[in-house]
Amino acid sequence: MYLAEEAWPDLETYFENESLALVPLGSTEQHGPHLPLATDHLIAEGFATAAADRTGFLRTPTIDIGVSPHHRQFSGTMWVDAPVFRDYVESFTRNLAYHGIDRVIYVNAHGGNVEHLREVGRRLHDDEDVYAIEWMWNDSIPDLVDELFEHNGPHGGPKETALIQHLQSELVHDDRLADARDGGFPEFEASDPTHHGARTFYDAIDNTDNGVFGDQTDATAEKGERMFEEATAQLVQLCNWLDDQPFADLLPKDHV
């Protein structure tokens, strides 16, 4: 069920009988010369939609601009400052709680959002209002990702390329895959992002001229479909597990 397509009287029954919502979040940021800026939020929305369709749980509209200042040198990248992002996500999550939702899954597809979603989840958990957790698709299927790609890369690499080839192939510039690989770093470790144990970079451009890592020529729509189905199955299982938990068991434990 997609919240924004329903009339309010038709949502009353859901809020009376269910307490879980899926919130897709991503970014609008550069993903190299071959992928759209929408990559992350398209992926997040794809997973949240599929999980909502297969479980009947509520999906909210997608949050499509995230914490992305580290990609700002590349044309078109949009971002919000981290404190603004955290406050915004917390605010609309409390809005869901007002309607009766007490557990939320942030279906996230942007690494820059992770720590901030965890912080929001902690605030809500400490206040005993909502149990909100962050889910990242590739973290649910790490072995499959390693199996499919020899040189993956954390950003704009073959895993994201394959997913967009599966979800919206018309947005992928397949004629630029070799350029994406050759203009970036096929092997992430080769970019040497640390010195003497310290992370000495702040922006993506400090490590890659075209903004991406990995071997994009290794991506196919078939690999994308396999990842999508297996990660969606994990998200469905997470939804069902969370729905089964008594809310009291999700609250903070008492001081020892």
Task: Give per-residue pLDDT as tens, 11-45.
Answer: 999 999 999 999 999 999 999 999 999 999 999 99
At residue 189 the predicted structure's pLDDT band, cuts being 50, 70 and 90, is low
The mean pLDDT value for 55-66 works out to 98
How many angstroms separate the CA atoms of 217 and 224, rounded?
13
Instruction: Look at residues 178, 188, 176, 191 and name the one whose alpha carbon lies nearest to residue 214.
Output: 188
Copy the structure tokens of residue 246. 């008594």
Q: Where are the domains of the chain?
A: 3-248
**Strand, helix or coil at 137?**
helix
Q: Which CATH number fits domain 3-248: 3.40.50.10310, 3.50.50.60, 3.30.460.20, 3.40.640.10?
A: 3.40.50.10310
Q: Are 133 and 12 in contact (CB under 8 A)?
A: no
**Strand, helix or coil at 35?**
strand
How many angstroms separate the CA atoms of 66 and 113, rounded?
6
Kindly report whether the global pTM for this prediction surpasses the value 0.85: yes
**Strand, helix or coil at 174?**
helix
Q: How far is CA 40 from CA 29, 83, 86, 152, in A?
A: 8, 20, 18, 16
At residue 153 the predicted structure's pLDDT band, cuts being 50, 70 and 90, is confident
How many angstroms separate the CA atoms of 44 and 237, rounded?
17
Q: Are 184 and 214 in contact (CB under 8 A)?
A: yes
| pLDDT, tens digit (0-9, with 9 covering 90-100), for 127-149 | 999 999 999 999 999 999 999 99
- Residue 63 CB partners (closer than 8 Å, separation 6+): 23, 24, 25, 26, 41, 89
Provide the 8-state DSSP code for 205.
Answer: G
At 201 the pLDDT is 82
